[in-house]
Amino acid sequence: MEQILDNAKKDINLSELPPNSLKKDLFSLMKIGIVNSNILTTFTGIWLAIRLNNLDILQSLPKALLALIGSSLIIAGSCVINNFYDRDIDPYMERTKNRPTVTGSIKPLNTILLGIALLIAGFITLSFTTMMAVVYAFIGAFSYIVLYTMWTKRHYTLNTVIGSISGAVPPLIGWAAIDPNLHFVAWMLFLVMFIWQPPHFLALAMRRTEEYRAAGIPMLPVVYGFEITKRQVMIWILCLLPLPFYLHQLGLPFIILASLLNIGWIVLGIYCYRTKDDEKFSKLMFIYSLNYLTILFISMIVFTLPF
């Protein structure tokens, strides 16, 4: 890996990278897109905890707001520390080369201090809900910062699976903030999120294979090629197929919609697989995965509205 990085450095002049505004820099450091997407999954956990426990919505509102703010701060802090740690490999990828940790617009010391401050603020905020919410948030932050960023990302193709732990925790945080005794449905939300992530990120990795190769990151398509990666994508999607039936408490309309989404993803995957067009496979599977998650979690809320 060191040889790859040394070779890449010869081809990159960091001084040529364009500067960003402070607001854009901070949003880039916190990976605001990831923070925003996790608001939906956290809120879904909150909402279902309220509805399935027959709790009063207005009385639960303070804890709900604290959970959303606290979890967002923790996710942002974890992402900032991820950027701090990855500042040596980010210059070699198109989508990360303009991050402030690469351009130098925000110094490493300020970056790590910001990350720690966001984490502390997030944990303090969550502590006003329940301690179990704090525990699950800590598990999420630890798995992302230590198990994924510092350990597996640079050494094992399993990094995608390990990284999925942190991405699946937000619904648990939201639920635990309202009801520390997690319902079976809460764990099913975790499982849906955990299984959804590998096909999503493997499709992205296929689109960015050469960048990951240049950065020395052993993503599955870099190490084993597209054919095995596509098989893995399909296996993970198939694992989603039975999950809607374990969420029967959300109602028959949800089961039908979720099953159709799963079947649609499988059919699309088979079609793209047969075309032998790797670029088409990665692009369509990635786009479908984004729409899949958004539709699925919004439907969980809509189908349990009190009317």
Query: Mean pLDDT for each consecutive 10-residue tract of the chain (307 residues)?
Result: 40 42 90 95 98 96 98 98 95 88 92 97 98 98 98 96 97 98 96 98 96 94 96 97 97 98 97 92 97 98 92
Q: What is the pLDDT of residue 143?
A: 98
CB atoms within 10 A of CB 18: 8
For residues 25 and 105, is the Cβ–Cβ distance under 8 A?
yes
Q: Residue 148's pLDDT is what? A: 98
CA distance 68 to 40: 9
Q: Let me know: does 269 contact 233? Beta carbons within 8 Å.
A: yes
pTM here?
A: 0.90
Q: What is the pLDDT of residue 265?
A: 98
> What pLDDT does 122 receive?
98
How far apart are the two ends of the chain, measured CA to CA in Å?
A: 57
Give the model's pLDDT for residue 141.
98
Per the CB < 8 A criterion, the answer to whether 185 and 148 are in contact is: no
Q: How many Å apart are CA 293 and CA 103, to the nearest integer? A: 33
By the 8 A CB rule, do 199 and 236 touch? yes
Residue 94: its pLDDT value, please?
86
Q: Going from the N-terminus, what domains does the chain have, and what CATH number goes with each?
A: 2-302 (1.10.600)
Whether the Cβ atoms of residue 17 and residue 96 lie closer than 8 Å to each other: no
pLDDT of the residue at 6: 45
